[in-house]
Amino acid sequence: MKLNCDMTMDLVALYQDGLASESTNEAVESHLETCARCREYYKSYRIAKPFQEEFLTVQEREFAEVAKRLRARKLWKRIFTCSYILASIAAMMVLWLRLQDEDEFDVYHVK
């Protein structure tokens, strides 16, 4: 089977993931041996990160944006919660120290 460049580029994903049939694999391999442009495309496809912007569909981009906003919101919630807990602990320590001072005052001066 003789493939042109457009067909080969369409089949690169199946070839790389091992989902193409044996005859398709042979056709892609033979085309990659003879075509430098498709060979470069295949190399860039192999090393491409799975979530690079140019490979995402519109829905995947929208989902990635929503997921990013949710992660940011979750981070801010954690920061707020930690700040609230630390402020509460600091307030309880100040209150405890004041009570300790009052107890010492009562012990030394009332008796």
pLDDT digits (tens, 9 = 90+) for 2-55: 889 989 988 988 888 788 898 999 999 999 999 999 988 888 877 655 555 555
Contacts of 97 (CB under 8 A, 6+ apart): none
Report the C-alpha gap between 46 and 50 in whole angstroms.
10
pLDDT at 102 over 90: no
What pLDDT is recorded for position 109? 56
